[in-house]
């Protein structure tokens, strides 16, 4: 404090308040919501005439017989007699890194057998081709790995599952745009 007195302390100059631009407020008019008057209910239809029911029953008029149900020895077959294999699970193959690095797209045709339980047996590559149609084997292992995980509802013949040989599938490898 003594130092301030000794140096002839002067108060800082007063800062002017910042200038504020004039604000233009639009004129606000109160809105009134009008309710529609309640409509009169429709006129009721005329009451129905009561129907007279004859409640007299003669015991001899109604035939009463108690018999056990008739059992037939007819066998019912299964609901699905024959059907083609139906894919249940077909995972997408992983894109090979070499093909991704080179920017190669293509497809592979794979042939396999669908077993009685719906799994894939004996997958083999029929042919692999790049986007221009030239043969390539860059996608073969990825396609085979994906096909081995496929699951199907098996072929049904007369209600029994049967192996289906020679099933072909085309697996396309295309880079995202």
The count of domains in the chain is 1
Question: pLDDT tens-digit profile of 124-157?
Answer: 999 999 988 899 999 999 999 999 999 999 888 8
pTM attached to this predicted model: 0.53
Asked if the structure places residue 78 within a domain, the reply is: no
Q: What is the mean pLDDT of the chain?
A: 83
CATH assignment of the domain containing 152: 3.30.2420.10
DSSP 44-67: PPPPPPPPP------TTTS-----
Q: What is the Cα–Cα distance from 69 to 162, expressed in whole angstroms? A: 39
Q: Which residues contact 115 (CB under 8 A, 6 or more apart)?
A: 121, 154, 163
Q: What is the Cα–Cα distance from 115 to 164, expressed in whole angstroms? A: 7
Q: What percent of the chain has pLDDT over 70?
A: 83
Model confidence at 57: pLDDT above 60: yes
């Amino acid at each position: 404090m003594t130092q301030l007195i000794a140096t002839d302390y002067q108060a800082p100059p007063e800062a002017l308040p910042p200038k504020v631009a004039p604000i233009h407020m639009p004129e606000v008019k109160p809105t009134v919501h009008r309710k529609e008057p309640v409509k009169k209910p429709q006129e009721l239809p005329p009451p129905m005439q009561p129907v007279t029911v004859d409640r007299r029953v003669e015991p001899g008029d109604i035939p009463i017989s108690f018999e056990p149900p008739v059992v037939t020895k007819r066998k019912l077959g299964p609901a699905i007699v024959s059907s083609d294999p139906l894919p249940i699970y077909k995972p997408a193959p992983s894109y090979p890194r070499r093909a991704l690095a080179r920017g190669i797209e293509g497809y592979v045709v794979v042939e396999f057998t669908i077993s009685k339980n719906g799994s894939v047996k004996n997958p083999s590559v029929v042919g692999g081709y790049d986007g221009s149609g030239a043969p390539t084997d860059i996608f073969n292992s990825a396609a085979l790995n994906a096909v081995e995980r496929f699951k199907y509802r098996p072929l049904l013949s007369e209600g029994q599952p049967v192996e289906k040989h020679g099933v072909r599938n085309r697996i396309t490898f295309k880079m995202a745009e």
